[in-house]
């Protein structure tokens, strides 16, 4: 059963997108297409996408993370045990413009589909598959989690108190980063397709996507010999406030880099006297 969602016309409203498998990376990638007006159909098993059970949960027991990653989409339930499951999925895929595949991270009981055969019949299909480490390289085929990817990429090195181990936030940071890169790749293919080019196939490495934020730090180290260390308050000196801070109920991460972000931050906290103060907002 599909749940139809009304959406306003957007720059990508001419595109039909199908999302299979389960990963934060592919869910966020598909969500960005939906935000720009594309018709996104998310294929789920009868039990629902495993991400529906990701904390934090609302008072009604619904996953806030799932709601964020899948905003503006429609959901189609396909039971792998049904006799027509493969036929239904193949018909959906052959009728779409972009297929976003997260099965390598979690197949989520998705029926089998021969991607090579589909692309042979539909040479214009844009195909993006996500995996933890991509299809090539020394880690290809390895299993991982958000925590291990973040640690390998060095994303937790600067987070936490000066003493003791680094802190890890229970979120989908690596999936958000990878989903953004995947959207850029697939959207660029959609633009090229409008110029008469055939569909492209993309292999999205969640690990490599997570390395991007650390690249400039490596360059700074080579150029200036300055190795950034954990200082306990600000993760990204000299911006302020930019760090993870203790609150009455756990910790909160804050990053305000641009003037617009600072003003929005002050508005959210009800601090109009600081909003336009050049001493703290410049």
108: in domain: yes
**Region 233-256 average pLDDT:** 69
Question: What average pLDDT is seen over the chain?
Answer: 86
Do both 169 and 273 map to the same domain? no
Phi, psi dihedral angles at 176 (to 5 degrees): -65, -45
Share of the chain above pLDDT 70, in %: 90
Q: Please count the other Cβ atoms lying within 10 Å of the Cβ belonging to residue 182.
A: 29
CATH of the domain at 103: 3.40.50.10540
Do both 22 and 157 map to the same domain? yes
* pLDDT tens, residue by residue, 70-106: 999 999 999 999 999 999 999 999 999 999 999 999 9
241: in domain: yes
222: in domain: no
218: in domain: no
pLDDT of 219 above 90: no
Phi, psi dihedral angles at 246 (to 5 degrees): -75, 140
pLDDT value of position 253 = 78
263: in domain: yes
Domain end residue (candidates: 153, 184, 213): 213
Q: Answer yes or no: are the C-beta atoms of 209 and 134 closer than 8 Å.
A: no
Do both 87 and 134 map to the same domain? yes
pLDDT value of position 273 = 87
- Residue closest to 140 by CA, chosen among 148, 131, 129, 149: 131
- Residue closest to 133 by CA, chosen among 211, 205, 200, 72: 205
174: in domain: yes
**Joined tokens for residue 194:** 């409008």
pLDDT value of position 154 = 81
Q: How confident is the model at residue 272 (pLDDT cuts 50, 70, 90)?
A: confident
Q: What is the pTM of this model?
A: 0.81
* pLDDT tens, residue by residue, 189-213: 998 887 777 789 999 999 999 988 7
pLDDT value of position 153 = 87
Q: Give the domain extent around 271.
A: 233-281
Minimum mean pLDDT range among 110-114, 159-163, 241-245 = 241-245
Do both 206 and 245 map to the same domain? no
Do both 193 and 246 map to the same domain? no
Q: How confident is the model at residue 235 (pLDDT cuts 50, 70, 90)?
A: very low
Q: How confident is the model at residue 230 (pLDDT cuts 50, 70, 90)?
A: confident
- Measured CA to CA, the distance from residue 254 to residue 235 in angstroms comes to 10
Minimum mean pLDDT range among 25-29, 73-77, 145-149 = 145-149
Q: Answer yes or no: are the C-beta atoms of 146 and 204 closer than 8 Å.
A: no
Q: Answer yes or no: are the C-beta atoms of 189 and 126 closer than 8 Å.
A: yes
* pLDDT tens, residue by residue, 172-184: 989 999 999 999 9
* pLDDT tens, residue by residue, 38-70: 999 999 999 999 999 998 899 999 999 999 999
């Amino acid at each position: 059963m599909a749940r139809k969602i009304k959406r306003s016309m957007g720059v990508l409203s001419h595109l039909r997108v199908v999302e299979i498998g389960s990963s934060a990376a592919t869910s966020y990638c598909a969500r960005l297409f939906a935000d720009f007006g594309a018709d996104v159909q998310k294929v789920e098993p009868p039990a629902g996408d495993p991400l529906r059970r990701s904390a934090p949960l609302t008072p009604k027991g619904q996953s806030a993370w799932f709601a964020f990653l899948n905003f503006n989409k429609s959901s189609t339930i396909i039971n792998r045990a049904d006799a027509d499951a493969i036929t239904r999925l193949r018909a959906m895929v052959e009728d779409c413009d972009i297929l976003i595949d997260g099965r390598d991270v979690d197949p989520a009981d998705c029926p089998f589909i021969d991607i090579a055969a589909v692309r042979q019949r539909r040479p214009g299909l844009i195909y993006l598959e996500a995996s933890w480490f991509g299809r090539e390289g020394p880690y290809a085929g390895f299993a991982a989690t958000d925590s291990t990817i973040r640690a390998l990429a060095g994303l937790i090195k600067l987070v936490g108190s000066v003493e003791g181990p680094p802190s890890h936030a229970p979120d989908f940071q690596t999936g958000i980063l990878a989903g953004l890169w995947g959207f850029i790749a697939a959207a660029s293919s959609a633009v090229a397709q409008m110029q008469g080019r055939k569909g492209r196939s993309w292999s999205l490495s969640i690990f490599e996507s997570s390395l991007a934020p650390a690249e400039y730090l490596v360059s700074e180290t080579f150029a200036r010999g300055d190795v950034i260390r954990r200082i306990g308050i600000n993760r990204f000196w000299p911006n302020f406030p930019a760090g993870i801070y203790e609150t009455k109920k756990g910790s909160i991460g804050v990053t305000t880099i641009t003037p617009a972000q600072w003003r929005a931050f002050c508005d959210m906290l009800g601090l109009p006297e600081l909003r336009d103060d050049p001493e703290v907002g410049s």
